[in-house]
Amino acid sequence: MMNIEQIKKQPIAVLYGGNSAERDVSLNSGKAIAQGLKQAGFTVHLIDTKEHPLTVLVDKNIKYAFIALHGRGGEDGAIQGALESLNITYTGSNVLGSALSMDKVRSKQIFKACGLPTAPFAVVKKNAFPQLDVAHLLAKLGGKVMVKPAREGSSIGMAMADTATKLHNALVEAFGFDGEILLEAWIDGPEYTVAILGEEALPVIHMQTPREFYDYEAKYQSTSTQYHCPCGLSVAQEEQIKTLSLQAFNATGASGWGRVDLMRNSQGEWQLLEVNTVPGMTETSLVPKAAKVHGLKFDELVERIVLLSVANNDV
C-alpha cells in the first residue's frame, strides 16, 4: 500500500460544482478542500464537472479524485461508477453506498429492516398524486409531517405540512425536485449530527435554530443558528448516538467518511433522518467542526479522507 508521502507526489483532482441543486454549496466545499489539500502538500487540480468531462482526468493522467460534489450526479453513485470505469481512486462511499444513502426512502427501508429507529413515513409517487387522499395520509402520519424529495440535500424542496392544503402545496413544490416524495411524521425535538471518519464517530454536534427547522437559510445564510460541540448530552447518551450513527452508516453501505443526521422525539427516542456521503466541507461546515473538536485541523482532515480512500481501494 502506498503511504501518504507517495500519494502526495501524485496529482489529485478535486471534483466540484456540477449540475445539482446543491451546486453553490459544492463550489464552496470544493474550494475549501482544494485549499486544505494544497496546505497538506498535494498537487491539486480543481475541476468543475459542469464545465469539464471526467475524461480530462485521463488526459492529465490523474489517478486520484476527491469528490466534493453534493446531491444528484455527485453523491448518488453516478460519478463513483464513472470514476471506477476510468480506474481512478476516489474518496468516500462506493456506488452502492452512495446510491442508497442519497435515497431517503430506501435508506429508511434499510434502517427499519435492520431494526434501527426512524420515524414513521409514507412515499408518494408523482403518477399516483392525482388520486391521493391527502387528508387521510396526513392523519395516518399523526397530523403533521415533513415533506422531502427522496433524493435531495441541503433541505431543498422540503416543507412542514399540518393541514391537507399545506400538504397538497408542499407536494406540488417537492415534485419539482423529484418524482418520489417522502412524507415523514414530524419529530418534535432537538437535532444532532454525527461525523464519521473511517470506522470512527467524531464528537456529536447539536444544532439549534429559531426557524421552523434547519432549512437552507439556517444552514448557509442565517447567523442565528447555533452549533454546540460538546453537544450537551451525557457521555453515555453521546456514545449511544455514535453507535447508532455508525450502524446506520454501515447499513446503507456508506464508507470512508460522511455524516449521519438524527433527532430525538418528544418521548426521548432517537430517530435517524439520513446518511450523507459527501457532506458540506467548507471550513465552517459540520464535519470540519467535529474534526476540530477531535483535534484534527481542516488540512489534516482532508488528508485523512484521502488516505482512508486509498486504503479502502487497496483492499
Ligand X SMILES: Nc1ncnc2c1ncn2[C@@H]1O[C@H](COP(=O)(O)OP(=O)(O)OP(=O)(O)O)[C@@H](O)[C@H]1O
Between 76 and 184, whose beta carbon lies closer to ligand X? 184
Minimum distance from residue 196 beta carbon to ligand X (Å): 13
Between 88 and 146, whose beta carbon lies closer to ligand X? 146
DSSP symbols for 6-53: HHHTSEEEEEE--SSTTHHHHHHHHHHHHHHHHHTT-EEEEEETTTS-
Q: Judged by CB under 6 A, how many residues of this single chain contact ligand X?
A: 18
DSSP symbols for 183-207: EEE---S-EEEEEEETTEEPPPEEE
Binding span for ligand X by CB under 6 A among 31-39, 149-157, 223-231, 239-247: 149-157
Backbone phi, then psi, for 58, in 5-degree steps?
-65, -45
Q: Is 186 in the site for ligand X (CB under 6 A)?
A: yes
d(CA 249, CA 278): 12
Which residues within the stretch 248-287 sit at the binding site for Mg ion (CB under 5 A)? 261
The item of Mg ion, ligand X, none sharing an interface with residue 119, based on CB under 5 to 8 Å by kind, is: ligand X
Reply yes or no on whether 274 is catalytic. yes
Reply yes or no on whether 28 is catalytic. no
Task: Say how many C-beta atoms besides its own lie within 10 A of residue 183's C-beta.
Answer: 24
Q: Is 103 in the site for Mg ion (CB under 5 A)?
A: no
Select which of 16, 17, 22, 264 is catalytic: 22
Between 129 and 213, whose beta carbon lies closer to ligand X? 213
d(CA 235, CA 15): 38
Between 87 and 266, whose beta carbon lies closer to ligand X? 266
**H or E element at residue 56:** helix 55-59
The item of Mg ion, ligand X, none sharing an interface with residue 192, based on CB under 5 to 8 Å by kind, is: none
Q: Is 274 in the site for ligand X (CB under 6 A)?
A: yes
Reply yes or no on whether 154 is catalytic. yes
Reply yes or no on whether 276 is catalytic. yes
Q: Is 191 in the site for Mg ion (CB under 5 A)?
A: no
Reply yes or no on whether 90 is catalytic. no
Contact between 308 and 256 (Cβ < 8 Å): yes
Minimum distance from residue 220 beta carbon to Mg ion (Å): 13
The item of Mg ion, ligand X, none sharing an interface with residue 155, based on CB under 5 to 8 Å by kind, is: ligand X
The item of ligand X, Mg ion, none sharing an interface with residue 231, based on CB under 5 to 8 Å by kind, is: none
* Contacts made by residues 243-248, CB under 8 angstroms, sequence distance 24+: 243/201, 244/116, 244/117, 244/270, 244/272, 245/194, 245/196, 245/201, 245/272, 246/196, 246/199, 246/201, 247/114, 247/116, 248/111, 248/116, 248/272, 248/275
d(CA 233, CA 192): 10
Residues that bind ligand X (CB under 6 A): 119, 146, 148, 152-155, 158, 184, 186-187, 191, 213-214, 261, 273-274, 276
Q: Which residues are annotated as catalytic? A: 22, 154, 220, 259, 261, 274, 276, 280
